[in-house]
Structure 1
Amino acid sequence: MDLNTLLQRAQNLNNDAKAECELPVVERTLQQVLQATTELHSRVTQTGSKEIQAHILLGSKGVDLPKLNQKLEALSARKTFEPLDVKMDTDVRTFLKNERENSILSVIEDTKKNIKDSANKQRWASMNKVWNEEKTRLLDALIAPSQNFIDLQRLPEPTIVNPHCQPRSCLDPLELVYAQELRHYNELLLKSSLRPNLVQKFAHLSQSFGDSRLTDMWTLLACVTQISEPLRSDPIKSRQQRPEFVTHAKSYLERRYRVFMCSQTGGSYAGNSYQLVLAYVNQRFRAQQTIGLVDTVGERPLWPLVYYGLRCGSTKVAVEFLREAGSSHDEFAQLVADRNAGETNSKIENQLRLQYANKIRNSTDAYKKAVYCILLGCDVNEVHGEVAKTIDDFLWMRLAMIQPGDADNYGKLQSMILEQYGEKYFNARQQPYLYFETLALTGQFEAAIEFLARQDDNRAHAVHMAIALFELGLLGSARSVSQPLLSIDIIDPQPLRRLNLTRLIRQYVQRFERTDTSEALHYYYTLRCLKDPKGRNMFMACVCDLVVDSGVFDTTIFDLIFGKRQSSDQNDFNSGLFRQFECPEFDTRTMAGQVADELAALGNFEMSARLYELAGKYNLALKHICILLAHVVHLPTLGGSLRERLGLEAQRFNQLLASDSIDVEPKMKNSFVLLQDLLIFFNFYHEGKLNAALDLLEQTQLMPNTSDDVDVVLANVKRLSGEVIKVLPDVIVAAMEITQRQYKQLKTGTGSSLELSQMQKLRQRAKALSNMAATMPYRLPNDTNKRLIELELDMH
Structure 2
Amino acid sequence: MDLNTLLQRAQNLANGGEADCELPRVERTLQQVLQAAEEFHTRVTQTGGKDIQAHILLGSKGINLPKLNQKLEALNARKTFEPLDVTRAETDISTFLKNERENAITSVIEDTNKNINDSVTKQKWTHLMSSWNEEKTRLLDALIGSSQNFIDLQRLPQHTVVNPESKPRSCLNQMELLYAQELRQYNELIINQSPQRPNLVQKFAELVQSFGDIRLSDMWNLLTWVTQVDQPFNGDPIKTRQQRPEFVLNAKSYLERRYRLYLTSILMTPTDVDSYQLVLAYVTRRFGPHQSTIGLVDVAGGGKPLWPLVYYSLRCGSVETALEFLREAGTTYEDFSLLISDRVNSRIESQLKLQYANKIRNSTDAYKKAVYCIFLGCDPHEVHGEVAKSIDDFLWIKLSMLRPGTPELASGFSNLQSLILEKYGEKYFNASQQAHLYFQTLALTGQFEAAIEFLSRSDENRVHAVHMAIALRELGFLGGVRSVNQPLLSIDICDPQPLRRLNLSRLIRLYVGRFKHTDTVEALHYFYTLRCLRDPKGRNMFLTCVCDLIVESGVLDTNIFELIFGRRENEEQQQPNGLHIETKQGLFRQFHCPEFDTGTMAGLVADELVERGSFEMAVPLYDMAGKHNLALKHLSILLAQVVHQPPLVATLRSRLSLEAKRFTHLLETQHIELDPKVESNFVLLQDLLKFFDNYHEGKFVMALQQLWRTNLIPREEEEVDGCLAHIKRLSGEVIKVLPDVMIAAMDITQKQYKQLKADAGQRTFELRQLRERAKLLANMTAIMPYRMPNDTNRRLLQLEMMMN
Task: Give me the TM-score of the superposition, normalised by structure 1.
Answer: 0.85
What SS does the corresponding residue of 2:769 show, helix, strand or coil?
helix
Where in structure 1 are there 5+ consecutive unaligned residues? 1-28, 53-77, 146-159
What SS does the corresponding residue of 1:300 show, helix, strand or coil?
coil
> Would the aligned equivalents of 2:489 and 2:501 in 1 still touch at CA under 8 Å?
yes
Give the Cα separation in 1 of the matches to 2:455 and 2:95. Answer: 87
> Would the aligned equivalents of 1:707 and 1:764 in 2 still touch at CA under 8 Å?
no
Show CA shifts across 1:134-184 (max 9, x none).
Answer: 332222111389xxxxxxxxxxxxxx9979342221111111111111111
Aligned pair in 2 of structure 1 residues 509, 268: CA closer, same or farther (>3 Å)? closer
Q: CA deviation at 1:185?
A: 0.6
Report what 1:9 is aligned to.
none
Residues 369-380 of structure 1: matches in 2 within 5 Å? 369-380=369-380
Residues 628-667 of structure 1: matches in 2 within 5 Å? 628-667=638-677
1:494 equivalenced with 2:497 (yes/no): yes
Report the identity percentage: 63
Report what 1:192 is aligned to.
193
Residues 343-362 of structure 1: matches in 2 within 5 Å? 345-362=345-362
Give the Cα separation in 2 of the matches to 1:109 and 1:673. Answer: 38
Report what 2:782 is aligned to.
774
> Would the aligned equivalents of 1:319 and 1:336 in 2 still touch at CA under 8 Å?
yes
Q: CA deviation at 1:314?
A: 1.4
1:435 equivalenced with 2:430 (yes/no): no
What SS does the corresponding residue of 2:601 show, helix, strand or coil?
helix
What SS does the corresponding residue of 2:673 show, helix, strand or coil?
coil
Residues 599-748 of structure 1: matches in 2 within 5 Å? 599-748=609-758
Aligned pair in 2 of structure 1 residues 386, 712: CA closer, same or farther (>3 Å)? same
Code of the residue aligned with 1:245 in structure 2: it is F
RMSD: 3.0
> Would the aligned equivalents of 2:145 and 2:459 in 1 still touch at CA under 8 Å?
no
Give the Cα separation in 2 of the matches to 1:271 and 1:626. Answer: 82
> Would the aligned equivalents of 1:552 and 1:604 in 2 still touch at CA under 8 Å?
no
Report what 1:305 is aligned to.
309
Code of the residue aligned with 1:215 in structure 2: it is S
Report what 2:603 is aligned to.
593
Give the Cα separation in 2 of the matches to 1:582 and 1:713. Answer: 50
Q: CA deviation at 1:767?
A: 1.3
Code of the residue aligned with 2:470 in structure 1: it is I
> Would the aligned equivalents of 1:411 and 1:495 in 2 still touch at CA under 8 Å?
yes
Which residue of the other structure, out of 254, 258, 280, is the alignment partner of 2:260? 258
Residues 69-218 of structure 1: matches in 2 within 5 Å? 87-89=92-94, 118-119=119-120, 121-143=122-144, 164=164, 165-193=166-194, 194-218=196-220
> Would the aligned equivalents of 2:335 and 2:344 in 1 still touch at CA under 8 Å?
no
> Would the aligned equivalents of 1:701 and 1:713 in 2 still touch at CA under 8 Å?
yes
Give the Cα separation in 1 of the matches to 2:186 and 2:56. Answer: 106
1:322 equivalenced with 2:333 (yes/no): no
Q: CA deviation at 1:766?
A: 0.8
Give the Cα separation in 2 of the matches to 1:188 and 1:502. Answer: 22
Give the Cα separation in 2 of the matches to 1:466 and 1:438. Answer: 17
Give the Cα separation in 2 of the matches to 1:265 and 1:728. Answer: 96
> Would the aligned equivalents of 1:690 and 1:738 in 2 still touch at CA under 8 Å?
yes
Report what 2:363 is aligned to.
363
What SS does the corresponding residue of 1:550 show, helix, strand or coil?
helix
Give the Cα separation in 2 of the matches to 1:298 and 1:161. Answer: 84
Give the Cα separation in 1 of the matches to 2:490 and 2:184. Answer: 29
Q: CA deviation at 1:556?
A: 2.0
Q: CA deviation at 1:47?
A: 7.7
1:249 equivalenced with 2:251 (yes/no): yes
1:273 equivalenced with 2:275 (yes/no): yes
Which residue of the other structure, out of 1, 5, 20, is the alignment partner of 1:33? 20
Which residue of the other structure, out of 593, 618, 628, is the alignment partner of 1:583? 593
Which residue of the other structure, out of 764, 785, 792, is the alignment partner of 1:784? 792
Show CA shifts across 1:693-740 (max 9, x none).
Answer: 111112222111222221111111122222122211111110000000
Give the Cα separation in 2 of the matches to 1:467 and 1:774. Answer: 69
Code of the residue aligned with 2:327 in structure 1: it is R
What SS does the corresponding residue of 2:383 show, helix, strand or coil?
coil
Residues 210-249 of structure 1: matches in 2 within 5 Å? 210-249=212-251
What SS does the corresponding residue of 1:35 show, helix, strand or coil?
coil
Where in structure 2 are there 5+ consecutive unaligned residues? 1-15, 27-54, 64-82, 147-159, 574-581
Code of the residue aligned with 1:468 in structure 2: it is A
Give the Cα separation in 1 of the matches to 2:140 and 2:250. Answer: 37
Aligned pair in 2 of structure 1 residues 112, 336: CA closer, same or farther (>3 Å)? closer
Give the Cα separation in 1 of the matches to 2:772 and 2:372. Answer: 116
Give the Cα separation in 1 of the matches to 2:635 and 2:617. Answer: 10
Code of the residue aligned with 1:432 in structure 2: it is A
Show CA shifts across 1:446-503 (max 9, x none).
Answer: 1111111111111111111111111101011111111111111111111111111111
> Would the aligned equivalents of 2:145 and 2:458 in 1 still touch at CA under 8 Å?
no
> Would the aligned equivalents of 1:270 and 1:276 in 2 still touch at CA under 8 Å?
no
Aligned pair in 2 of structure 1 residues 793, 112: CA closer, same or farther (>3 Å)? farther
Report what 2:537 is aligned to.
534
Give the Cα separation in 2 of the matches to 1:300 and 1:539. Answer: 64
Code of the residue aligned with 1:638 in structure 2: it is L
What SS does the corresponding residue of 2:609 show, helix, strand or coil?
helix
Q: How many residues align?
A: 715
Q: CA deviation at 1:654?
A: 0.5
Which residue of the other structure, out of 318, 330, 337, is the alignment partner of 1:333? 337
Give the Cα separation in 2 of the matches to 1:565 and 1:453. Answer: 41
Q: CA deviation at 1:350?
A: 2.4
Q: CA deviation at 1:606?
A: 1.2
Aligned pair in 2 of structure 1 residues 336, 109: CA closer, same or farther (>3 Å)? closer
1:395 equivalenced with 2:406 (yes/no): no
Show CA shifts across 1:386-416 (max 9, x none).
Answer: 1111100010011111000411111111111
Give the Cα separation in 1 of the matches to 2:486 and 2:279. Answer: 51
Code of the residue aligned with 2:530 in structure 1: it is L
Report what 2:32 is aligned to.
none
Give the Cα separation in 2 of the matches to 1:269 and 1:590. Answer: 57
Q: Which has the higher contact order (CA 8 A, sep 6+)?
A: 1
Report what 2:47 is aligned to.
none
> Would the aligned equivalents of 2:640 and 2:685 in 1 still touch at CA under 8 Å?
yes
Give the Cα separation in 2 of the matches to 1:203 and 1:283. Answer: 35
> Would the aligned equivalents of 2:252 and 2:396 in 1 still touch at CA under 8 Å?
yes
Give the Cα separation in 1 of the matches to 2:137 and 2:568. Answer: 36
> Would the aligned equivalents of 1:630 and 1:675 in 2 still touch at CA under 8 Å?
yes
Give the Cα separation in 2 of the matches to 1:767 and 1:470. Answer: 76
What SS does the corresponding residue of 1:457 show, helix, strand or coil?
helix
Report what 1:48 is aligned to.
59
Give the Cα separation in 2 of the matches to 1:268 and 1:624. Answer: 76
Show CA shifts across 1:637-679 (max 9, x none).
Answer: 2222111110000001001111134321222211111100100
Code of the residue aligned with 1:31 in structure 2: it is E
Q: CA deviation at 1:88?
A: 4.2
Show CA shifts across 1:408-451 (max 9, x none).
Answer: 11111111111111111111111111111011001111111111
Code of the residue aligned with 1:307 in structure 2: it is Y
> Would the aligned equivalents of 2:484 and 2:506 in 1 still touch at CA under 8 Å?
yes
Give the Cα separation in 2 of the matches to 1:581 and 1:523. Answer: 12
What SS does the corresponding residue of 1:680 show, helix, strand or coil?
helix
What SS does the corresponding residue of 2:747 show, helix, strand or coil?
helix
Task: Give me the TM-score of the superposition, normalised by structure 2.
Answer: 0.84
Code of the residue aligned with 1:139 in structure 2: it is L
Report what 1:505 is aligned to.
508
Report what 1:56 is aligned to.
none
Report what 1:23 is aligned to.
none
Moved more, 632-641 or 466-475: 632-641
Aligned pair in 2 of structure 1 residues 38, 87: CA closer, same or farther (>3 Å)? farther
> Would the aligned equivalents of 1:189 and 1:195 in 2 still touch at CA under 8 Å?
yes
Aligned pair in 2 of structure 1 residues 422, 272: CA closer, same or farther (>3 Å)? same
